Amino acid sequence: MNLLVSLFSGVLFGLGLVVSDMIDPARVIAFLDVASGAWDPTLGFVMAGAVLPMIIAWRIAAKRVKPVCGDKFPGPASGSINRKLILGAATFGAGWGLVGICPGPAITALSIGGLPVLLFVACMFAGFFVASLTARWL
C-alpha cells in the first residue's frame, strides 16, 4: 500500500510540475530574476498552491496518533542548523539559481528530453555520488 501511495504522490507531483510549466528552466529563472523587469510570479502561485494544502494536511495530521500509511510520522532529522545543512542549502540554491532546475522538475523534464536536461540529471547523480564520498568530512 505504501508503494502505491508513493507512486500516486510522485505522479501527482510530476503532473503538477508539467501542468504548471515548472519543468521549463526559463520560467523558473524568470521567477528568480526579480531585478530584470521581466519578473514572472507564476512560481509563487505554484508554491502557494502547494503550501496551502500542506498546512491543512499538517493540521489534520496533528490530531492523529498514527499516519494512514506508515508506522509513525516522520520528524526532523536533526533540530540543529549545522555546516552540512548550510553547505547543502547553499549548493542547492546556487545550482537552482544558475540553471533553473531542481531535482524534482529535472526528473519530470526528462519526459520532454533535450541535452541540457540529460546533462543536468547526469551531473545531479554525479553530485549525489560525490556527496556520499565526502559526507564523512562534513
Output the pTM of the full model. 0.65
Query: Could you list the mean pLDDT of each consecutive 10-residue stretch along the chain, which spans 138 residues?
Result: 86 86 84 85 88 90 86 77 86 83 83 83 89 78
Condensed to tens digits (0 to 9), the pLDDT of residues 4-25 reads 988 998 888 888 888 888 888 8
The answer to whether 22 and 46 are in contact (CB under 8 A) is yes
Contacts of residue 5, defined as CB under 8 A and 6 or more positions apart, other chains included, come to 69
CB 14 within 8 A of CB 108: yes
Distance from the Cα of residue 115 to its chain's centroid: 21
Residue 105 buriedness (CB in 10 A; 0-12 / 13-18 / 19+): buried
Contacts for 12 with CB less than 8 Å, ≥ 6 apart: none
Of 66, 34, 98, 73, which Cα lies nearest the Cα of 123? 98
